[in-house]
Structures are given as structure tokens and as C-alpha cells.
């Protein structure tokens, strides 16, 4: 006789545990509903790895809590969720010595989200461009300009390929010109495709 174990009841318990405060009382730090939602996103992302499931679970929690479930607020939450996912994906590409976790991560993600969310409204386009450049050049405290090893390695590989292709093409042209001078018979040539 085989034993069967029903894991459905245990799944509900683990969901309840997941929503218990894993981080110290977020509500006491901020009354901003976006901050609370971001902490919920981070908590859920630690337990579930499929982004669509996380968002659906968060929406289910919003419904259960009786919060605003209108289409506008749902789209606003989806925008926040996607922004936080982009920030998290960018942080996953950091080298291991720069990765941070826990409460500091929540604070850093919150500050990065606020930087993205804030809008400087000015009438002059030149001031807008200067403001964007100032923010970009300042960078953030975690990454800075030296925290892009993936992009740097890709750029280095592209440069190496370009140099190699140019050297090969130039060598073949020189050899073809030399062979043409020594023989008046034209030699067959192949086109290089890289």
C-alpha cells in the first residue's frame, strides 16, 4: 500500500509564513504605500522566481486585504513591479562582492526607485538634458561607472572582433595586390564574411 501526502494544506501555511514580516516592521518606517508594496515585492521575489506568478500573487493579496483593485491602481502597481524587477535584474549582474541583501537592499532599492520616480519639471529642454546627464554621471552608490563588467567585456570582445576582421581583410588585400604585381594573371578571390 502506497502512502500519499497532500501538500496543498502545507502550501497555504507556507504562503502565510511568506507574508509574515520577514523584514522588521516596514510599516513603521514609512507610510508610503509604494514603499510597502516594494517591500512586498521583494519578500515575494525571495520565495518565488517566476515574475508573472509573483505579480499575480501580489494582486491576490491586494484583493484579500481589500485594497484598491481598480484597473488604474493595478496598472500603477504593475509599473512599480516592473521597475523593481528591472532594478533586481540589474543587481543580479553585479559581482558577488557588491551584492547586498536584507534590509539594506530594501533601502537601496527604495532610494533607486525614488530617483527613477522623481521628475524635475522645467520648461527649458537644455536644463532637462543637463539634469539627466548630471544624474547619469553621478551614478548610484552601488554600481557607479565601474560596476558594469558585463558591458565592458562585451565592448572588449566587439573591439577585438573589429580589429581582427580589419587585420585579416587588410592582409588579404595586401597579399592579393602583391600577387597581382608578380603575375599579370588575376587570381580568384573570396569575399570574407564575419
Global pTM value: 0.50
Using the Cα atoms of residue 40, residue 46, residue 52 and residue 54 in order, give the sign of their dihedral: negative
Please state the length of the chain. Answer: 194
Cα gap 158→31, rounded to integer Å: 48
2-47 residue pLDDT tens: 555 554 444 444 444 444 444 444 444 455 788 888 888 888 887 7
Average pLDDT for residues 144-163, to the nearest whole number? 78
pLDDT at 158 over 60: yes
Take residue 125 and report the three cell numbers written for it.
529642454
Predicted local distance difference test score (pLDDT) of residue 88: 84
Q: Which residue has the higher pLDDT, 104 or 172?
A: 172
Domain spans in the chain, listed from the N-terminal domain onward: 11-144, 148-194
How many Cβ atoms are within 10 Å of 179's Cβ, its own excluded?
13
What DSSP line would sit under 30-93, residue for residue? ---HHHHHHHHHHHHHHH---HHHHHHHHHHHHHHHT----HHHHHHHHHHHHHHHHHHHHHHT
Amino acid at each position: 500500500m502506497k502512502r500519499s501526502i497532500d501538500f496543498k494544506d502545507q502550501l497555504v501555511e507556507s504562503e502565510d509564513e511568506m507574508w509574515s514580516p520577514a523584514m522588521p516592521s516596514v510599516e513603521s518606517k514609512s507610510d508610503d504605500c509604494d514603499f510597502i508594496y516594494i517591500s512586498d515585492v521583494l519578500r515575494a521575489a525571495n520565495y518565488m522566481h517566476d515574475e508573472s506568478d509573483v505579480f499575480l500573487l501580489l494582486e491576490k493579496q491586494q484583493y484579500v486585504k481589500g485594497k484598491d483593485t481598480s484597473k488604474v491602481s493595478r496598472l500603477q502597481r504593475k509599473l512599480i513591479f516592473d521597475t523593481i524587477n528591472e532594478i533586481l535584474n540589474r543587481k543580479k549582474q553585479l559581482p558577488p562582492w557588491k551584492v547586498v541583501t536584507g534590509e539594506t537592499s530594501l533601502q537601496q532599492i527604495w532610494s533607486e526607485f525614488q530617483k527613477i520616480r522623481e521628475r524635475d519639471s522645467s520648461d527649458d529642454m537644455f536644463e532637462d538634458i543637463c539634469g539627466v546627464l548630471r544624474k547619469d554621471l553621478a551614478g548610484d552608490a552601488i554600481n557607479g561607472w565601474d560596476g558594469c563588467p558585463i558591458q565592458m567585456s562585451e565592448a572588449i570582445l566587439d573591439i577585438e572582433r573589429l580589429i581582427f576582421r580589419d587585420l585579416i581583410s587588410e592582409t588579404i588585400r595586401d597579399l592579393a595586390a602583391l600577387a597581382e604585381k608578380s603575375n599579370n594573371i588575376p587570381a580568384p578571390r573570396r569575399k570574407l564574411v564575419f
